[in-house]
Amino acid sequence: MNLAALIVTGDPALADDLLRLAAAADAHAEVAYSTDEARPAWTWPALILVGADLAEDLASAGLQRRPGVVLVTGGAAPDAYRMAVEAGAQDVVALPEHENWLIDAFAAACEPEGGWATTLCVVGARGGAGASVLATALGLSSAAQGLRTLLVDADPFGGGIDLVLGLESHEGVRWHDLAERRGRLSAATLRETLPSSGDLSVLSWRRGEPVPVSEEAVRSLFDAAARGFDLVVVDVPRHPGDIGRAALRAAAVTLLLVPAEVRATVAADGLAAALRRDTPDLRLVIQGPAPGGLTPDAIASVLGIPSAGSFDRDRRLPAAVDGGDLERACRRGPLADFCATVLADLALQPYAYREAA
C-alpha cells in the first residue's frame, strides 16, 4: 500500500491519536519519532503531520520546503502559528477539536490530484421511455471498455436501478446509508462498498419508502464519484429533485431520450427548457421505430436540440430487464452500437490511479 501520510512526533499519545484518525480514513500512515527518522521519507507522502513537540527540531533540520505539511497541537498553543511558519507548515490544527478535518485530510492524501470523472446524465421525455435502460447500457458499455464506471439512480421512486442488473440482493451501500453523510467521502471507500459487477458500481435505493437525502450528502457523493471513477452515469427523473439537479449541474453531457412519437416530442419540448437551466450541454437521442413515420431529423428540427444519434428498440430488452439480465442482452444490438458511439464521442481515458495491492 502506498504511504499516504507521515506523522512526525516523539509523543506516543499524539502518534496513537493520529494513527487512529488515519485508520478511520482508510489511509496508510507511518510514524517518524524524530527528525532524522523523517528525513528519508520526507518527499514521498502527500501529507506530513508534525507534532508541536518536534516543530523546532524540524525548523532547524534544513529539510526541503514542501506542500502538505500540517502542524498538530494537543490543545492551546499560543505560539503555534510561529512554529508553523518556522517549520514550513501550511496549516495548524488542534486535537481533539479538528479530528474531522484531519480525517478528511487523510482521505484526501490517499487520492491523486486530477483524474476527474466525466458525468453523463440520461433523462426520458416521458414515463417508460427507457431512460433507465439507456443509462444502464451506457454504464455496462463503459465498464466493458475497462473504465471505472458508477451508475447512479437519482429517482427514489423508480423501483431501483440495481434490479435492472440483478444486483438487488448484493450487499453494499445504498442512498439510505449515505442520506446524512457529512464531510469528505473517500473515493476508494465508495468503490469498495457499493454493489458492483466488474468495473461497474451501482448506487441505488433500498426497497420501501425512500429517505430524504441531505444536500451535503449529495455533494459529498458526487465529489467522491468525480475523484474515484472514469465515468459517472446518472439516471435522472423528469422531476429531478436535489440529487438530479446536482447531477445535471455536474454533467459534461445530458442525453434527452425521446421516443419517435408526437406526444413524446411535445413533452420533450417543455422538459428541455427546464433542463437547460441546470445542464450546459443537452443532446437529443431518438428511439425508434416511429409508429407514425416521425423522423429523427424532424424531431430534432422541432426541438432545436443537437442530436447525439438514434437507435431502434430491441425486443429482447423488456424480458432482460425483468430477469435482471440486461448485461447479456446489451452485448450486441442497436442499443450496444449506440452506446459505443456515445462513449467514443466522449473520448474517455481510463483513470491512471489504481489502489496498490
Phi-psi region of 208 (alpha: psi -120 to 50; beta: other; left: phi over 0): left
Residue 143 · residue 149 · CB < 8 Å: yes
Other C-beta atoms lying within 10 Å of the C-beta of residue 341: 13
pLDDT single digits (tens) 80-104: 888 888 888 888 999 999 998 899 8
What proportions of the chain, in percent to the nearest 5, are helix, strand and coil?
A: 40, 20, 40
Half-sphere exposure of residue 116: CA atoms within 13 angstroms, side-chain side: 9
Are residues 82 and 228 part of one domain?
no
- Cross-strand bridge partners of residue 258: 286
Are residues 222 and 153 part of one domain?
yes
For the sheet with 200-203, list strands across it: 196-197, 200-203, 149-153, 231-236, 118-124, 253-259, 282-288, 307-312
- In 144-186, the DSSP E strands lie at 149-153
User: Which amino acid is present at 44?
Assistant: W
Are residues 127 and 275 part of one domain?
yes
DSSP summary character for residue 53: G
The parent domain of residue 53 ranges over 5-109
Other C-beta atoms lying within 10 Å of the C-beta of residue 77: 17
DSSP summary character for residue 54: G
Residue 76 · residue 54 · CB < 8 Å: no
pLDDT-based confidence at residue 354 (cuts at 50, 70, 90): very low
Given 109, 128, 145, which residue is the final one in a domain?
Answer: 109
pLDDT single digits (tens) 176-221: 999 988 777 778 888 899 999 999 999 999 988 889 999 888 988 9
Quick one: what percent of the chain has pLDDT higher than 70? 96
Residue 272 · residue 301 · CB < 8 Å: no
Given 75, 109, 143, which residue is the final one in a domain?
Answer: 109
Residue 357 in domain = no
| Domains in the chain, number | 2
Residue 86 · residue 71 · CB < 8 Å: no
Residue 355 in domain = no
Are residues 155 and 45 part of one domain?
no
pLDDT confidence of residue 227: 80
Q: Which residue has the higher pLDDT, 293 or 33?
A: 33
Are residues 122 and 73 part of one domain?
no
